[in-house]
Amino acid sequence: MTVEVHGHRGARGLRPENTLAGFVHALELGVDAVEFDVGVSADGVVVLNHDQALSPVNLTDTAPVRPGDAAFPYVGKPIRELTLAQLRTVDAGVRRHEAFTQTPVPGARIPTLAEACALLAPADVKLAVELKTDPTWPIGDVRRLTAAVAGILTSAGLTRRARLLAFDWRVLAEARRHHPEFTRVALIERKTLVPGTPWLAGLPPEDPVSAAAAIGAAVLSPEHAVTTPGLVERAHAQGLQVAVWTVNMPEDMTRFIKYGADALVTDYPDRVHTVLAAR
Query: What would the pLDDT profile of 17-42 be if each residue is shown by its tens digit?
Result: 999 999 999 999 999 999 999 999 99
Q: Residue 234 is which amino acid?
A: R
Pairing of strands 241-244, 33-40: unpaired
Report pTM. Answer: 0.97
The size of the chain, in residues, is: 279
Show pLDDT as tens, one digit a residue, over the chain (279 residues): 799 999 999 999 999 999 999 999 999 999 999 999 999 999 999 999 999 999 999 999 999 999 999 999 999 999 999 999 999 999 999 988 767 789 999 999 999 999 999 999 999 999 999 999 999 999 999 999 999 999 999 999 999 999 999 999 999 999 999 999 999 999 999 999 999 999 999 999 999 999 999 999 999 999 999 999 999 999 999 999 999 999 999 999 999 999 999 999 999 999 999 999 998
Domain ranges of the chain: 4-278
6 and 264 Cβ atoms separated by less than 8 Å: yes
How many whole angstroms from its chain centre is CA 48? 9
Contact 226, 192 (CB under 8 A): no
Span 179-205, pLDDT tens digits? 999 999 999 999 999 999 999 999 999
**How high is the pLDDT of residue 275?**
97
Centroid of chain to Cα 247: 14
The pLDDT value recorded for residue 21 is 98
Report whether CATH 3.40.50.300 matches the domain 4-278: no
pLDDT at 96: 84
Cβ atoms 5, 266 nearer than 8 A: yes
How far is 8 from 26, CA to CA, in rounded Å? 9
Q: Name which of 117, 108, 140 is nearest 34 in CA terms.
A: 117
Tell me what pLDDT residue 266 has: 98
Cα-only R_g, the chain? 18
Phi/psi at 37 (nearest 5 deg)?
-115, 145
